Amino acid sequence: MSSIEVPTNVRVGIDTGGTFTDCVLWKDETPLIVIKVPSTPSNPAEAILNGLERLCKIAEIPIHSVKFLAHGTTVATNAMLQEQWAKVGLITTKGFRDLLEIGTQMRPELYQLHQQKAAPIVPRNLRMEVTERVDPYGRVVEKIDKDEIYEVLNEMVSNEIESLAVSFLFSYANSEHEAAIREAAAELAPDLYVCISSEVSPEFREYPRTSTTVINGALAPVVRRYIRHLRQELEAKGIGNKLNIMQSNGGIVSGKEAEVSSHNLILSGPAGGTVAAAEIARKANVPNVLTFDMGGTSSDIGIIIDGKPQVVQGTTVNNTYPLQVPTVDIHTIGAGGGSIGWKDQGGALKVGPKSAGAVPGPACYGLGGIDPTVTDANLFLGRLDPEHYLGGEFDVYPELAYESLKRLADELDLDVERVAAGILEVANANMAGALRVVSSRRGYDPRDFALMAYGGAGPLHATALARELGIRQVMIPASPGVLCATGLLLSDIRHDFTHTEVVSIKNANLMKLEESFIQLENRGVDRLDKEGVPSDRIGLKRSLDLRYNGQEYYLNIPIEEEITAALLKNATDSFHEVHRSTYGHAAIDEPVEIVNLRLSAIGEIDRIDNQQVTEVIGVNSAIPINHRSVFFDDYGWMDTPIYRREDFTLDVEIEGPAIIVQMDTTIIIEPKQNVRSDERGNLIVLLEGIE
């Protein structure tokens, strides 16, 4: 066998989805290689290894030549959604045992009188107290009782907990009592995972801080088992130390670092898509974009303003548990290709959130599924071409889709066509509502944005959603079905640090604030240095959380220089401006106070040339390869040409209706919509009649 020339730079991105695992490989300035493999929910690592092997086989390179592997994982997300987390205990300040139970006055449904509160992650028998107290300034009011520490820890260990979370009042100002618990636990139970709130979420507000620490404790054993198993499998192939994991903040960390920061992985997969979408939109000179990522089980909606993904400083998990970490602003709903259509008790047609997932999958996959899904409806209505599904590599069975739809149609006493069209209408209504959540409900007019569609099912529904919302332009990247995986290769290494300092800007000690920022910067540089980032690739971004005196919520304001009186004056002016644009008003005569100092430590990676990210534009003319009858709202069944994506060149523009097929997705162009390719290989769909 002849020797294989090993390329000098091979990077792989693999994103695990509910139905398919998306895989991309880039080597030495050549076009991306993209594939999809079926996900393996019982062991996600299996699909990752299958995808890695197939990529390297196509690229004709040995696996050990991969220099960088980035992974977007759903392990943390699924553990939270399915409540399959580890058995975690909580130690807190005496008198605050029931904090997780009490929570706040926030209600998921404001006007619902008979709400059933979700059970806390830690049951009451595993929530224990220790005598100690620190005041808001970090002064010890009551020393921790060391005898009580060992008594409580022994009881915890006897309950066979898998991890321990520690959250004391005002520990963000003084962490010595939390550290004492961890030291004692290391003596009694060296193998017990212990996380303390002063490291997990060193911010004020005891309930979100405690919730975030508990989430980390509940996820850490689950995530660690998964990552360690995956690393072992990769080590057997010679690339175990190349593994990196995407975080919710849009940055990556090493696999080893991800094991101890599991709470940062809740939106691991979708964040990669938003990063890639922002890069593509920026190169296309489209500053404001709504992102629409529709996969097999869910749809993830995001927003890009002035070329930047929006990052929020906190979110909720399962619409219940506060998570106080920087997170790419993504709104997720249970609407995907595998979402199941069903009849509710009132006789109405509903779609989702239950999904057929990867196993057994939609009925048309022929893998044992019998419930009608969005994919089955698209197939029956002609919107999916069986001959070109996933590039013709995956068989689908229209007769099985019909049988599943017929059963639901009989339940609803409707014909199959009406039920199939109804499933798409309901799913589209749900997704249009999610797009409104991130746009109009936050003061943005969706008509001022382009809609970028990706994910395996996104381009199937995007043009209908744009019509519904009055959006004039839809952008579809060259490889939309694997965009989240592509984004993994565009994401920098990132660590976020916070220091709470509640002080009026008028009374702020400039030197003290600057010293606090320098301490955060030192921590950031140290963390990146340990991950092997060269000093010339390290970037440090400062920001301040500001609010009006006495206000509950704050706004994050970036700053670029060392703390001076002039800088704080400019930050205050920016705060008034952002407050006005966010809430519609500003109180410029009211005093402004600092709440948190934030620092993002960023290790810049080598950028892939964007032309390779979006593929090389084809050289053939756009000539239909086939025709089929397709159902469109308001038009009924229409004879519709089918095109190959690679046949679109810069001088080609066609009018819908049309179907455009490619390996990783199918694109629907509705009647009276025009589509063309831009210079970077994105398809641009323009909607007529929308002002």
Q: List strand residue ranges (DSSP E) for 148-267, in order.
A: 163-167, 193-196, 243-246, 252-254
Enter the DSSP assignment of 479.
S
Please, are residues 640 and 382 in contact by the beta-carbon 8 Å criterion? yes
Structure tokens at 297: 């089980």
Is the per-residue pLDDT at 617 higher than 60? no
Tens digits of residue pLDDT in 89-135: 999 999 999 999 998 877 777 777 777 778 899 999 999 999 999 99
* Cα 512 to Cα 171, 516, 520, 598, distances in angstroms: 19, 6, 13, 15
Question: Are residues 276 and 477 in contact, defined by beta-carbon separation less than 8 angstroms?
Answer: yes
Q: What are phi and psi of 600, to 5 degrees?
A: -110, 120
pLDDT at 8: 63
| Domain 10-80+227-247 falls under CATH 3.30.420.40 | yes
Q: How buried is residue 247: exposed, middle or buried, by Cβ count under 10 Å (0-12/13-18/19+)?
A: buried
Query: Which residue has tokens 């746009």?
Result: 439
Separation between Cα atoms, residue 152 and residue 150, nearest integer Å: 5
Q: Which has the higher per-residue pLDDT, 378 or 330? A: 378
Do 331 and 299 form a contact (C-beta atoms < 8 A)? Answer: no
How many alpha carbons lie under 13 Å from residue 179 in its C-beta half-sphere? Answer: 7
Assigned token pair, 71:
């992974």
In sequence order, which residues have a C-beta less than 8 Å from that of residue 270 and are 6 or more positions away?
72, 293, 300, 302, 328, 330, 332, 484
Contacts of 518 (CB under 8 A, 6+ apart): none
Stated pTM of the model: 0.86
What gap in Å lies between CA 609 and CA 489, rounded to an integer? 11
The 3-class secondary structure across 247-277, one letter per residue, is CCCCCEEEHHHHCCCHHHHCCHHHHHHHHHH
pLDDT single digits (tens) 213-222: 999 999 999 9
Instruction: Quickly list H helices, 132-188.
Output: 146-158, 176-188
| pLDDT for the residue 7 | 54
The closest of 435, 434, 424 to 401, measured between CA atoms, is 424
What is the C-alpha to C-alpha distance for residues 434 and 422, in angstroms, rounded to an integer? 18
**DSSP annotation string for 61-100:** --GGG--EEEEE--HHHHHHHTT----EEEEEETT-TTHH
pLDDT of residue 2: 36
Q: Give the residue from 335, 309, 325, 223 showing the smallest Cα distance to 487.
A: 309
Phi, then psi, of 392 in degrees rounded to 5: 80, 5
C-alpha span between 195 and 1 (Å, rounded): 52
Render pLDDT for 48-102 as a digit per residue (tens, 0 to 9). Answer: 999 999 999 999 999 999 999 999 998 888 888 778 899 999 999 999 999 999 9
The pLDDT value recorded for residue 620 is: 46
CB atoms within 10 A of CB 603: 23
Per-residue pLDDT band at 552 (split at 50, 70, 90): confident
Place of tokens 């005002």: 170
Task: Output the pLDDT for position 1.
Answer: 34
Please compute the mean of the pLDDT values over residues 410-420 and round it to a whole number: 95
Q: Please report which confidence band the pLDDT of residue 619 belongs to, taking 50, 70 and 90 as the band edges.
A: very low
Strands of 551-635 (E only): list them.
Answer: 555-559, 592-603, 626-632
Whole-number pLDDT of residue 41 = 85
Decide if 217 contacts 193 (C-beta within 8 A). yes
Phi, psi of 22 (to 5 degrees): -95, 135
Tell me the C-alpha to C-alpha distance, in Å, between residue 339 and each of 305, 353, 369, 472, 633: 30, 6, 12, 28, 20
Percent with pLDDT over 70 in the chain:
96
- How far from chain centre, in Å, is Cα 491? 13
Instruction: Choose the CATH number for 493-603 among 3.30.1490, 2.30.30, 3.30.70, 3.40.50.
Output: 3.30.1490
Buried-state track 52-67, b at ≥16 Cβ within 10 A, e below 16: bebbbeebebebebbe
Beta bridge partners of 130: 93
Mean pLDDT across 546-564: 92
Mean pLDDT for the stretch of residues 492-517: 95
pLDDT recorded at residue 613: 36
pLDDT (tens digit per residue) in 433-492: 999 988 888 888 999 999 999 998 999 999 999 999 999 999 999 889 899 999 999 999
Contact 513, 563 (CB under 8 A): yes
Rounded to an integer, what distance in angstroms lies between the CA atom of residue 562 and that of residue 66? 41
Task: Match 């159902």 to its residue by tokens.
Answer: 631
Neighbours of 349 (CB within 10 A): 18
Token digits of residue 2 = 């002849």
**Token pair for 138:** 């970090």
Q: What is the pLDDT of residues 328-369, one digit of tens each?
A: 988 888 888 999 999 998 899 999 888 887 789 899 999 999
Q: What is the residue extent of each domain of the chain? A: 10-80+227-247, 84-224, 267-487+615-691, 493-603
Cα-only R_g, the chain? 26
Cβ(462)–Cβ(683) below 8 Å: no
Statement: residue 190 has pLDDT above 80: yes
